[in-house]
Structure 1
Amino acid sequence: MTAMQFIERFWQDIAAWALLIDIIVTGLTLVWVLHLKRETMSAIAWSLTVILVPFLGAFLFFLFGYQWVARPLRRKQQRRRLFRQICAWSSEASVPVPRRWQMLARLAEHAEGFPVTAGNAVEFYHEGKPLYAALLEAIGAARHHVHIEFFIFRSDACGEQFIEALSAAARRGVIVRFLYDSIGAHDLSRRLLRHVRRAGGRHAPFLPVLNPLYRLRVNLRNHRKIVVVDGRVAFTGGFNIGQEYLGLDRRYGFWRDTHMRLEGPVVAGLQRLFLEDWHFATGEAVKGEEYYPKWSEPQGEVLAQVVASGPDGEYKAIRETYFAAIVQARRRVWLASPYFVPDSGLRDALCLAARSGVDVRFLTLFRPDKWLPFLAARFYWSDLLDAGGKIYQYIPGMLHSKYLLVDGQWASVGTANFDNRSLFLNFEVNCQFFDTAVTQKLEEQFLSDLAQAVRVDREVFAQRPWMSRIFENGARLFSPVL
């Protein structure tokens, strides 16, 4: 009997069993959705998807909706606590910050966060070429260890250059640990990884997607970019490793981003964060005073604090500091991000600030690299424009910077975009600065970028074609995972 004949003979039985299985799968998935999703709109959206799209809806929730309670993330929480006990990292109290910003410092430190540190120096990079030169110089000067973690790491000429630098460091006796996201760096060649390993370095993927223990968790990614050299110099921000970040990819054109080089006690926070991720990925608990050197004198005058968040905890420190900073604004809120898909609370905070007379400006990209989040963002632009906010689109190329500036006195810079994916799903890291000089430097760059941007006219935007509105409405339905 052929397959077709079997189906023709037993199609009624097959249909009945399929219906029964679908009812069972749908019922169990709905219970799962209601148990996990605390936000009402997210619960409704997933419930409708599961009900209206048989089998596929349940699979999509399994793939994209099951976020925080996955076993590997619970295990990461447990390992994080164990790791901190093993390493006995300094838990000194935060240094005083201006009274107005004390709440932001407490929010960032809440739930095993990092303290505010004094005596730091920071240098910003807005283009790939000078940043890559600084990174390679730091790796070349390493004496004890190089810790490097990126979301995207290409196998192109840039990737090969960094692999050679890491391998050279390993050959001269430097401890090299290289961590990469298994989705973001999916095209990282085994040849380059072997080159690092044969030189004596170590490498590991974060949440390998094909590992059955991780249940195809494609939705939970490590979006952090951290480089720590000898525990004394650290880099973090928006740049990854690849030709496009030098402006050499025609799809993106000129690449505008924000990265930073840090020296001082704040480096210990980024060091600890990297080693926590490394511990989770490899099981190796790295400890020793050489990873947390003492500073005999200040490296600068900047008050800085590491702010980290991820799906391994319910408390989202970056999101909370963003919200509190916007609510506290009295004069201006300047935001740069390629993606703008915030939750309702952050949208309300921005609109409230704009309605109360605060100068709210949002700088984003003009030519999208990803259409779905771009269309979803346009759906929410109307709310901000109607409230009196200003939206600008950067013309020269790809705007990839991620920072929030408030009243010329406070800044948060790092890897987190202003969207649900960064604030709820990804592992991210920012640094917040309680420093007027640092904030003013970023404001100067922001104004320079505005001079090369086009402002979105509220009336013109309101008259956009109905077809565009339909696509925007459709795209915003995916907001929980964008």
Structure 2
Amino acid sequence: MMNSLEIFSWFEHLYIVVVLIFVIGILASGKKSGSIMAWIFTVLFIPIIGIILYMVLGVNWRRRRILKNKLENSPHKMFVSLSNELAKNELSKYDTRDIFSSYKDNVERTDKYMRDMEDHSDVAKLLYNTGSTYLTLNTSYDFYFDGGEAFDSIIKDLENAKESIYIEFFIWRSDELGERVKDVLIKKASEGIDIKLIFDGLGSFGRISRKYKKALEKAGIKYRYFLDVRYNILKLNYRNHRKMVIVDGNVLHTGGMNLGQEYIDGGKQFESWRDTNIRITGEMCVHYLAVFISDWLNSSGKFDFIIPEIEDSSSGDYLMQLCASGPDTIWSSLQMLYTKMITEAKEEILIESPYFVPDDSIFEQLKIAALSGIKVKIIMAGKPDKKIPFWVAETYFEEIIDSGMEIYRYQKGFLHCKNIIIDGKLATMGTCNFDFRSFELNYEINTVYYNKEMAGKLREQFFEDLKYCTEIKNEDLDRKGFLLRLRDSVFRVLSPIL
């Protein structure tokens, strides 16, 4: 019979074998190099817990989707069977691209619009090839840089709904704003309006009261949780960060704002909240509806939608394109979009994001742009809602400053908008932060504006925000002690998995 020392030695050797197996699995996972190094670091230096974390949070869903597609196209029955097995463990079953492809005239429209474009047609081609999204002409838009104005506009459109209301938010709270929206929804439901709501399984977890949900159910309002963490802990690390309100299929509200009172007044944590939303009428509405439908179906909802025809917006002045991606999409479309936009710049790159945690490739492109004489200005949150991304961002500051970029922290409340403006002519705004989580782990959605007027308005707001910022200088970095720098660097190594 083994004594306690021998048993310990046996378990020690078994653990080493298990760790080696996991390290080999991580190396062969197909993840990006930064993510591979972060997971190996976690498994090696956080005994047992690191392995459990990888089992729960480390699945490469994008590789599974690629493998499934390859197997489905294989003539061999064995591969098709394996594809079906993979499908059982997918993050999402329904692909937005399949819904886009059902609109057969979109390809012709996009080809025509692309021929008429003066600049940035390569950006449009990239989004079409990575996400099958089409160029759209739109008849009107309004930007909102204040939460109160944005939600007043949303509620007004909800009150005027005639057929359908489809809403999706990462965070939905049953607070003062949530009650206002609920009251309108219940009234519209009594008028026979088709209403469907999507809450993120983690972002809205514990934020909607039971009484609130019962009121929705009693009114006949359908709602679903996307990736409900109560039933599948393996999907805990993946979040639907998208935000959209679609009314009658012809009015769209989208941007950085969630449904919570803090987006109007800053809440208890901040004196104010700076964000960006947009209201759009035109072809883009139906394209967002396609994303909503796929998210609804992936949340176990049924396909019973009121789908409008795509109206002819050939008289519209505003050329836009949707860009959506997630952890299981074949391409990291939004990361590719941000990278491509940076390489398109000739004079100026303006970035606003609460967090700045880029991967090495996109950070290299920013440094190349700055060292080539292009003006690069970055605004991030100066008063953080999360400590770790704030610390990690500081590890980039020295290279940012040395390469000639300018980095600012917004001090008037919390900055939450996600905007990129290139040369005052091309811009994107939406839900995607400038960080690894948004690029690789979240379901995100942005709109690209191929319009000088729209880009100009976002640029004008950027410089208005700059008035409430402090610029980070080299001397500010010198004040930070060794232990704090070490802490920040450790979290930077782990950032691809946080």
Say if 1:83 and 1:285, in contact at 8 Å, map to a contact too.
no
Could you report, residue by residue, the CA deviation over 1:164-210 in whole angstroms, capped at 9, with x for unpaired residues?
Answer: 22222212101111100011001212221121111011001010112
1:22 and 2:22 matched:
no
Offset of residue 297 of structure 1: 4.9
**1:268 lines up with 2:269 in the alignment:** no
Task: Tell me whether 325-334 or 118-127 shows the greater mean CA deviation.
Answer: 118-127
CA distance in 2, matches of 1:270, 1:204: 18
Rounded Cα–Cα distance in structure 1 between residues aligned with 2:372 and 2:88: 41
Distance 2:315 2:151 in 1: 22
Q: Following superposition, which runs of at least 4 residues in structure 1 exceed 6 angstroms of deviation?
A: none
Once residues 304 and 433 of structure 2 are traced to their aligned partners in structure 1, the CA distance between those partners, rounded to angstroms, is 30
Give yes or no for contact 1:120–1:266 (8 Å, CA) kept in 2. no
- Secondary structure of the corresponding residue to residue 179 of structure 1: strand
Partner of 1:476: 492
Q: CA deviation at 1:451?
A: 1.1
**Alignment partner for residue 340 of structure 1, among 356, 360, 366?**
356
Who is 2:434 aligned against? 418
Give the TM-score, by structure 1 length.
Answer: 0.92
> Is 1:181 matched up with 2:200?
yes
1:115 match: 134
Match of residue 473, structure 2, among 430, 439, 457: 457
Q: Deviations over 1:385-404 (max 9, x none)?
A: 11000111111100001010
Tell me, which stretches of 5 or more residues in structure 2 are unaligned? 65-85
2:125 corresponds to = 106
Q: Secondary structure at the match of 1:100?
A: coil
1:284-310: per-residue Cα shift (whole Å, max 9, x none)?
2345xx423332555741100000011
5+ residue gaps, structure 1, are 1-8
Q: Which amino acid aligns with 2:95?
A: R
2:100 and 2:339 map into 1 onto residues whose CA distance is 31
Aligned mates of 1:81, 1:268 — CA distance in 2: 12
The equivalent of 1:222 in structure 2 is 240
After superposition, the Cα gap between the structure-2 partners of 1:73 and 1:449, relative to the gap in structure 1 and judged at 3 Å, is farther
- Please list, as runs of the form range in 1=range in 2, the aligned pairs for 1:85-96 lying within 5 A after superposition: 91-93=106-108, 94=110, 95-96=113-114
Is 1:191 the counterpart of 2:211? The answer is yes
Deviation at 1:14, TM superposition (A): 4.8
Q: Identity percentage over the alignment?
A: 30
Q: How does 1:79-478 map to 2 (within 5 A)?
A: 79-80=94-95, 84=99, 91-93=106-108, 94=110, 95-96=113-114, 98-187=117-206, 188-211=208-231, 214-286=232-304, 290-297=306-313, 300-478=316-494
CA shift in 2, pair 1:186/1:442, >3 Å: same
Is the contact made by 1:382 and 1:462 (CA closer than 8 Å) also made in structure 2? Answer: no
Q: How far apart are residue 12 of structure 1 and its match?
A: 4.0
Residues 86 and 285, structure 1, Cα contact 8 Å, conserved in 2: no
CA distance in 1, matches of 2:173, 2:301: 26
**In structure 2, what is the Cα distance between the partners aligned to 1:237 and 1:442?**
13
User: For 1:18 and 1:309, how far apart are their aligned partners in 2?
Assistant: 43
TM-score by length of 2: 0.89
CA distance 1:43–1:85, change in 2 (3 Å): closer
Change (3 A) 1:86 1:457: closer
RMSD: 2.3
Shift of 1:99: 4.5
TM-aligned CA distance change 1:352 to 1:141, over 3 Å: same
SS in 1 for 2:404: coil
8 Å CA contact 1:255–1:398 kept in 2: the answer is: yes
Paired with 1:447 and 1:104, the residues of 2 have a C-alpha distance of 25
| Alpha-carbon distance, 1:282 to partner | 1.5
Match of 2:25 among 32, 51, 67: 32
Rounded Cα–Cα distance in structure 1 between residues aligned with 2:88 and 2:356: 26
Distance 2:353 2:101 in 1: 37
Structure 1 residue 261: Cα displacement: 0.7
SS at match of 1:448: helix
Which segment drifts farther, 59-68 or 82-91? Answer: 82-91
Query: Do the aligned partners of 2:201 and 2:225 also contact (CA within 8 Å) in 1?
Result: yes
| Shift in alpha-carbon separation, 1:82–1:270, aligned structure 2, 3 A | closer
Deviation at 1:479, TM superposition (A): 1.5
What is the number of equivalent residue pairs in this alignment?
Answer: 470
